[in-house]
């Protein structure tokens, strides 16, 4: 049974601002936290800036807890459409043609959508600005490939132009997602009050958030951290919890490490978690960006690829970050690139990582964000 999805005739047709465009954002879920996380933040940010957005998604269930109210149509300016195969009968007949198509992470818009638009174009309709929003990377090819044109090679829209758009960390890329009110929200955030509201003690000891896959170094990390200093480890629901439970089942000795298992967090509360901690273990793409905005020491568990292509991607990020040797070494251990018996570097070393993260954050804040760049790019191409 499909999740409850808001009806296809609401937000994008009523009382749109004069300068608003209709955006179709297509999301094919591979990792149901990473892809959907990035896409929802983009949709919400576009809507906050007065745009009308339709999120086409094939596995929308995570939005129930990630963005409560999204599936029921309670997010002003964003409409969620269930991308089934085939699409629901007559769905397209009720939709106003979009001005912009955002194809995320190499997915292709549903064939019915493409055929429907081809028919409309043949009858005199307009072309959408078709943007292929790619994966984020600090590798050199991103600057070379950003904003390059391409032609659709097959299907009913064959020969139509589209554009590559690459998120990234430098002025020559598409930037990173950053809401216009982010700085104000961080300034007003009360970590102690938020922790208490989550049922967590605000103790005078270090806190780490743990959002990861299944790193081989995890048991040694927790055990060695427990020998260093009393600390609280806030474990996110899902694969991180499963990995911790597996380590405990093998007789892990926790020492002074206090584990706290968290419920599912909304995207807003995940940001709060990062702001409330002294060290953030993150994974994939969306949480890395949020950890950079948090400005706290971070460790990135990059999505592993079978051909080890993620090794070069990780090294490129660490180069951009200007990571000190101790942070580079820990990343390589955490990502299984180099083995190590001594995993945990100590809280004093962790604290020394803060300077490079804050410097990187300052560089990013001096650059335009992803949504602003997309808006400018689309206006240029229209």
List active site positions: 35, 285
Place of tokens 């100590």: 346
Buried b (16+ CB within 10 A) or exposed e, 56-74: bbbbbebbeebbeebbebe
Q: State how far the Cα of 182 lies from the Cα of 255, in Å rounded to an integer.
A: 37
Q: State how far the Cα of 37 lies from the Cα of 177, in Å rounded to an integer.
A: 11
- Helical spans, DSSP H, in 49-110: 63-66
Q: State how far the Cα of 321 lies from the Cα of 19, in Å rounded to an integer.
A: 38
C-alpha dist (Å) from residue 293 to 46, 185, 319, 350: 19, 11, 18, 17
For residue 284, what are its two tokens? 């994939």
Q: Measuring CA to CA, which residue among 176, 218, 238 is closest to residue 365? A: 176
Strand partners, 192: none
């Amino acid at each position: 049974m499909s999740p409850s999805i808001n009806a296809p005739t609401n937000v994008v047709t009523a009382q749109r601002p004069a300068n608003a465009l209709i955006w179709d954002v297509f999301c094919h879920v591979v990792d149901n936290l990473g892809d959907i996380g990035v896409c929802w933040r983009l949709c919400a940010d576009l809507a906050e800036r007065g745009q009308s957005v339709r999120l086409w998604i094939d596995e929308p269930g995570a939005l129930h807890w990630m963005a409560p109210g999204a599936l029921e149509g309670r997010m002003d300016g964003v409409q969620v459409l269930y991308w089934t195969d085939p699409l629901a009968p007559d769905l397209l007949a009720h939709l106003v043609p979009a001005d912009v198509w955002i194809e995320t992470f190499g997915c292709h818009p549903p064939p019915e959508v493409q055929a429907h638009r081809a028919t409309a174009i043949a009858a005199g309709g307009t072309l959408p600005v078709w943007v292929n929003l790619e994966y984020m990377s600090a590798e050199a090819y991103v600057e070379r490939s950003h904003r390059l044109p391409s032609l659709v090679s097959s299907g009913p829209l064959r020969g139509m132009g589209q554009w590559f758009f690459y998120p990234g960390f430098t002025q020559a890329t598409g930037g990173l997602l950053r809401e216009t009110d982010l700085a104000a929200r961080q300034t007003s955030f009360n970590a102690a009050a938020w922790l208490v509201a989550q049922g967590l003690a605000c103790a005078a000891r270090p806190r780490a958030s743990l959002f990861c896959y299944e790193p081989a170094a995890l048991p040694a990390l927790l055990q060695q951290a427990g020998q260093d200093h009393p600390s609280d480890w806030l474990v996110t629901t899902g694969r991180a919890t499963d990995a911790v439970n597996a380590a405990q089942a093998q007789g892990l000795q926790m020492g002074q490490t206090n584990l706290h298992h968290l419920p599912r967090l909304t995207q807003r509360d995940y940001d709060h978690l990062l702001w409330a901690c002294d060290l953030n273990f993150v994974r994939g793409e969306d949480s890395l960006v949020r950890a950079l905005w948090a400005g706290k020491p971070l460790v990135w568990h990059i999505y592993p690829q079978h051909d080890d292509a993620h090794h070069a991607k990780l090294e490129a990020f660490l180069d951009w970050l200007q990571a000190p040797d101790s942070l580079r070494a820990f990343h390589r251990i955490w990502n299984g690139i180099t083995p190590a018996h001594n995993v945990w570097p100590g809280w004093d070393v962790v604290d020394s990582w803060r300077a490079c993260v804050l410097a990187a954050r300052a560089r990013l804040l001096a650059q335009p964000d992803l949504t602003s760049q997309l808006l400018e790019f689309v206006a240029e191409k229209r």
